[in-house]
Amino acid sequence: MLNWCIVKENFDKENFMLNETLFHLANGYLGVRDSFEEDFRGKLKSVRGTYINGFYETEDIQYGEKLYGYAEYSQSILNITDVQTILLNIDGERFSLLEGNIKSFKNELNVKEGYVKREILWESNSGKVLKIDIKRMVSFTRKELFIIEYNVTPLNFNGEIEIISIIDGDVSNITASDDPRIGTANAKHLDVIRCEVKENIGIIENKTRNSNMSVITSCTHDLNKENRLNIDKKEDKIIFKFSLEAKENEKIEFVKYSIFTDSVRYENNYIENLEILKEVVENGKAFYFDAQKVYLNEFWKSSDIIIDGDEKLQEGLRYNLYQLLQSVGKDMYTNIAAKGISGEGYEGHYFWDTDIYILPFFMFTNSFLAKNLLMYRYNTLDRARNRAKMMGHLKGALYPWRTINGDECSAFFPAGTAQYHINTDIAYSFIQYYLITEDKEFMQNYGAEVLFETARVMFDIGHFNREGKFVINDVTGPDEYTCIVNNNYYTNVMTKYLFENTKLAWEILNENKEKLQELISKIGIDEEEIKAFEKAKENMYLPFDEKLKIHPQDDSFLNKKVWDFKNTPKENYPLLLHYHPLTLYRYQVCKQADTVLAHFLREEETTIDIIKNDFEYYEKITTHDSSLSTCIFSIMASRLGLKEKSYDYFINNARLDLDDLHHNTKNGIHTAAMGGSWMGVVFGFVGMRIKNGELHFNPLLPDKINKIKFKINFKHRELEITLDKEGLDIKLISGNSLDVYINNNKKTVE
C-alpha cells in the first residue's frame, strides 16, 4: 500500500487541528473532520466539525458605510449535528489519550479504499491494557452515510465496560478572527427543533435561523455482545449507554450508523432519512466498505497518476486527487468550496478556483462530474443576471466572486466584485468542456447561454477608446494585491477568448434551429450582437511595454515602486495579514500569478520570448501568498525549459497541505492547489495543451522523476500517456485514431 496511505504514528497534541483536516472524510455531500471519538474540546485546540456541502446560513452584512450595490448578506457553511462522540469506560476509568499510557498509536487514511483507521494499544492508570481499533467511513455510494466501527479488546482483564454514544445538536461554528480567510460573524446558527428516540434510533433535527434550511440526523447502533442499554434524551442531545461484561481477549464490536439528510435535496427529509437508515442497517457495514473499495477502484483506474522515482511526490499527488473526489459536489446543487468539506475556512464559499484550477482534472478524467459542476453554474445563472442588474448592466450576467447559493457575498468589493474575470473564467470552463468532450447538446442547451450572458457584461464594462482599441477599466485581476485597475492583461486576454468563442457557440446553436429560436426568445440575442463581440475581440487592447518587452499587469503597474522585499521580515508574510490593502496597491507586488497565468491559459496571444520576459519579471515580485500561485509558475517554468525551477515550484504545490506549507491547513485543505498539482504534471511536466481543438505536448521530465504515467479522455478516446527518460509515449486505449503533436511534430495515435 505504499503511497496509498497517509500515516501518523504518534498522538500529536500540538497539531491536532491540522490532523483533523488532513484525515477528514467526505464524499462531495457530507464531510466529517477527524476529531476523534473521545472528544477533546476544552482540552486541545480542536474544530469538531461535520458539514454538508451547500448547507448554509445567511446573515445581513453590517457595513459602517454601505453604498449601493454592496453584497447584502453573508453565507456560511454550517457545522451540523455532532455524531462523532463515543466514550469508553472500563470499570469506572475513562479511556483517554490524555491519561494512562499510550503503548502504541497509529492513525491512517487509506485513499485507495476510502477510510480512516486508528489503532491504539492503551494502558489505564490501574494497569488494564486494551486494544482499540476504530475505522471510519463517509460513503461514496450512499452519500448520507457516516459509519464508525469501534472495536475494543481487553488484553489482561475481565470487567465491566460501558460504551457511551452521543448525538449532539448543540453545535456552533468558529467565529471570525483577524484572518479574513476564516470564521463567521456569529458562532451559533442552528436551533434544535426535534429531539426524539424511536425504536432505539436517535433523531435530531436542526434548523437555520435565516436561510430556512433544516437537516435531519439519525443514529443507530449494532453491538456483538449482550448488553444493557440506557437512553438519556435531553433537549438537544441523546446519550446511549451500553453496559456489558468484557472478557479477556474477546473482541467487542460496536458499530454506529449515522444518516444526514438536508432540506435542499430531500422533499421530506425526515421520512427519507429513516428509510435510508433502515436500508443501511439491513445491508450492514461490510456492504458499504466493499462498495467503497469498488467505487474507488473505478476512480483510480481513470484518475491515478503514477510517479516513479519520487515517493513524496507520489504520496502528495494521490492525496490531492483523493481530496478533490471527496470535495466535488456530485448533484448539480453544489460546487467545490475553497476548503472542500474539510473545515470552515472561507466559510464554505465557491470561487473561480473550481473553474480554472479544478475542472481540468475532472474534464479529462471524469467528465460527468465536470458536467455537474458546470450545471451548478448554469443553475445559478438567473442569480448572476440579477447581480448584473444590481451592478448597472442592462443585460447579461455577472457571476459572484464568492458564494454558496449563487448570490454575491463578498463584502470587500475591490478584491471581490471587481474581479470581473470570474465571468471569463466560468465561460472558459464551458469552452474547454466542449473542446474536450465535443458535447454539442450541452453547448446548445446550456453553454451558449452562459457564454452570451457573460460576454454581454464584459462588453458592457469595456469600450472602444479614441484609437479604436477595446479597453476594460476599473477591474481587479487575479492578483489581489493590485486592485481596481485599467486593462488588467489577464482580464483582457480572457475576455478576448470569450468574445471569440461566442461565435463558435452561435455556430453550434445554428445546427439546432429550435434551440436557437428558443434562446433568441429567452434572452434576445442576435447575430449583430455576436458581430459586436467579434469586433471587440479584433480590437482588444493588450498592454505591452516596448522598452522592457513585457506585458504590464495593467496600465499603471509599471509606474509603481517595487515592494521592498529585502527588508520585509519573514514573519510579515502573507502580506495581507500585516499591511493595509492600500499600502499593497501602491507597489509592484503580486500575491499570485496574474499575467503569468494568462500566458498559461492563452499562450497563443504572444511569443515564447515575451512569455519568458514576463515570467522573469513577475517571478521577482510575486510572494505566492496565495495557494493558487506556485502550480502556475511550475507549469510555465516547464514550458520555458527551466527544469529545476519547475520541479521546485511543483513540489511546494503538491505537498502544500500534507506539509502544511502555508500554516493554515488546520482550517481546511486547499482544493485549488490540489487541482493545480494535477495540472502541474499534465500541463507542466508533460506539457499538454489544446490548440485549435488538437492535443499538443511539449514534455520536460524533471531529473528527480524516472517516469510519469496517467490516463485522459479526449474527444471520446481514452489515452494512456507515459513520459520517461526515453521520451513521451501515447497509447490509444479506446476510440478512433487521433492526431496529436509532440514538440510540434504530428503523430497519429492508433
Residues involved in catalysis: 480
Q: How far is C-alpha 236 from the geometric centre of its chain's CA atoms?
A: 32
- Whole-number Å distance between alpha carbons of 647 and 638: 8
Q: How far is CA 592 from CA 2, 618, 621, in A?
A: 34, 9, 9
- Of 48, 32, 47, 36, whose CA–CA distance to 8 is shortest? 36
639 SS3 class? helix
Mutual orientation of helices 367-379 and 381-390 as an angle, nearest 10°? 40
**Count of Cβ atoms closer than 10 Å to residue 374 Cβ:** 26
Q: Residue with C-alpha cell 477528514?
A: 24
Helix (H) or strand (E) holding 521: helix 513-523
Q: Closest by alpha carbon to 497, among 541, 537, 453?
A: 537
Helix (H) or strand (E) holding 205: strand 201-208
Task: Centre a 10 Å sphere on the Cβ of residue 497 and count the other Cβ atoms it contains.
Answer: 20
User: How, if at all, do strands 694-697 and 738-742 pair?
Assistant: parallel
Nearest to 265 by CA among 315, 301, 215: 215
Contact 649, 630 (CB under 8 A): yes
SS (H, E, C) 462-485: EEECCCCCEEECCECCCCCCCCCE
Q: Which one-letter amino acid corresponds to residue 29?
A: Y
> Which one, of 479, 707, 455, 436, lies nearest residue 597 by Cα?
479
Between CA 186 and CA 75 the distance in angstroms is 11
DSSP secondary structure code for residue 682 in this structure:
I
- The reply to whether omega before 581 is within 30° of 0 (cis) is no
Cell, residue 721: 500517456
Instruction: Write the single-letter amino acid at 502.
Output: T
Q: Contact, 374 vs 433, CB < 8 A?
A: yes
Q: From CA 310, how far away is CA 324, in angstroms rounded?
A: 21
Q: How many CB atoms sit inside 10 A of residue 57's CB?
A: 24
Q: Concatenated DSSP letters for 587-634?
A: EE-BSS-SHHHHHHHTGGGS-HHHHHHHHHHHHTTB---STTSHHHHH
Q: Which cell is 60 given?
A: 445581513
Cell output for 580: 493595509
Report the Cα 448 to chain-centroid distance in Å. 26
DSSP category for residue 591: S
Q: How far apart are CA 350 and CA 671, in angstroms?
A: 11
Q: Is residue 526 within 8 Å of residue 452, measured between CB atoms?
A: no
CB 469 within 8 A of CB 540: yes
CA dist., res. 216 & res. 143, Å (int): 14
Q: What single DSSP character describes residue 593?
A: -
For the chain, the farthest-separated pair of C-alpha atoms sits apart, in whole angstroms, at 91
3-state secondary structure of 136: strand
> ∠ at Cα 177 (174, 183), nearest 5°?
35
Closest listed residue to residue 575, CA positions, set 564, 584, 566, 587: 584
